[in-house]
Structure 1
Amino acid sequence: MRLILASNSPRRRQLLTDLGLAYEIRLRAVDEDFPPHLRRAAVAEYLAAHKAAAYAADLAPDELVITADTIVCLGDEVLNKPADAADAAAMLTRLQGRAHEVFTGVCLRTGDGRQVVFSDQTTVHFRPLSSAEIDFYITHYKPFDKAGAYGAQDWVGMVGVTRLEGSYFNVMGLPVHRVWAELARLGALPAAAPQPGH
């Protein structure tokens, strides 16, 4: 089965490449609004499925599209991508010194009509950060394309994240252990790839 990654995220591209999977990129503009009654994991799963729906009509029978959406939650509040530097600083100020959750929703949709939607959760603990550290990170790393205004693989993650409960790769944008298992279940892994046990 031919894999399509419907994401502009360099981190998701790198993770799939590191898994040893061949794929092509297809990009389409999809709005990222979600119903206001949804909470936490349900938001990430809804957005992943919503993105996949935009590709459904164009998929060949032997194609599978992978869509994903990562959100940062402080309690039930979703922290999206920051609008500007001030918004990023406000988000990081709220996250520092406490724990929050990162949810990544994933949708695997095949050209023959099968669909799997799932999500993974990671709890991230931040040590208290100074305003100088927050300003340095925003100025030098410009995290405006990242939910919650940070990347765990960036400088602020290296100096600020003290502990993770769950998958590190989920925080990067793709719970690759779950993706691998679901691709195997759908018969979409390359024949030469090691298959998960049953």
Structure 2
Amino acid sequence: MDVPSIYLASQSPRRRELLEQIRVSYQVLASEVNETPLLNEHPQHYVERIAEAKAEAGWQLLKASGLAQRPVLAADTAVVLEGVILGKPSSVADAKAMLTDLSGKPHQVMTSVAVVNAEATKLITSITDVLFKPLTESLIDRYCATGEPNDKAGAYGIQGLGAILVAAIKGSYSGVVGLPLTETAALLAQFEVDVWQSHGV
């Protein structure tokens, strides 16, 4: 088996797809961290802390595994409305309430990416402004009936059916999906990891 360029400390299928999009070879590490926000924690500090904790947990797992040591990448994304982090909805009613709150308003999506190896830990954060169009109760009900909001922060997926809810974005589209590719490529370059690798790598 070929040695991957990096290890990905994330179970997110969207982050895997984005790494594949820019042809970075990777292997997934199943690390777990406590993602509970601290009391009065600023959203940007939260995503940076969690991304770094995920990467560090992945690095410790890698060291204990006996696998070839390559950089470990992790990321964390938060949907932030008026300074409040909107996590994944706990129920359909919760999803409807989140979408009602987001309707017609701007919000931010913050994604932090952390990379760790034996020499360094580096972090980069992407903040994208997203504007929702006004949503009718009927549209919210129909969207929630698809099931897509259930496992999405902020109760929507911009890369899926939820694309029609978004009127405009300013910043990184891939950052809203879960991994800002321009920033990620720049971060990986600092660890001498290339993008656009051949499929055989």
Q: TM-score, normalised by structure 2?
A: 0.89
Which secondary structure state, in structure 2, belongs to the residue aligned with residue 91 of structure 1? helix
1:55-74 aligned at under 5 Å gives the runs 55-60=58-63, 62-74=69-81
One-letter identity of the residue aligned with 2:162: V
One-letter identity of the residue aligned with 1:8: Q
Deviations 1:86-108 (A, max 9, x none): 11110000001110000001110
1:129-140 aligned at under 5 Å gives the runs 129-140=135-146
Which secondary structure state, in structure 2, belongs to the residue aligned with residue 33 of structure 1? coil
The match for 1:126 among 125, 129, 132 is 132
Root mean square deviation of aligned Cα: 1.8
One-letter identity of the residue aligned with 1:187: E
Q: 1:131 to 1:191 in 2, by over 3 A?
A: closer
Q: 1:11 to 1:177 in 2, by over 3 A?
A: same
Consecutive unaligned residues in structure 1, runs of 5 or more: 194-198
Partner of 2:6: 3
Which secondary structure state, in structure 2, belongs to the residue aligned with residue 7 of structure 1? coil
1:2 shift after superposition: 2.9
Q: Distance in 2 between matches of 1:109 and 1:67?
A: 9
Partner of 1:145: 151
Partner of 1:174: 179
One-letter identity of the residue aligned with 1:169: S
1:150 shift after superposition: 0.5
Which secondary structure state, in structure 2, belongs to the residue aligned with residue 143 of structure 1? helix
1:29 shift after superposition: 2.5
The percentage of aligned residue pairs carrying the same residue is 36
1:192 shift after superposition: 5.7
8 Å CA contact 2:89, 2:154 repeated in 1: yes
Which secondary structure state, in structure 1, belongs to the residue aligned with residue 151 of structure 2? coil
Q: 1:76 to 1:192 in 2, by over 3 A?
A: closer
Which secondary structure state, in structure 1, belongs to the residue aligned with residue 123 of structure 2? strand
Count of matched residue positions in the alignment of Structure 1 and Structure 2: 191
One-letter identity of the residue aligned with 2:25: A
One-letter identity of the residue aligned with 1:65: V
Q: Distance in 2 between matches of 1:2 and 1:19?
A: 13
**Range that drifts further, 59-68 or 179-188:** 59-68
1:14-53 aligned at under 5 Å gives the runs 14-53=17-56
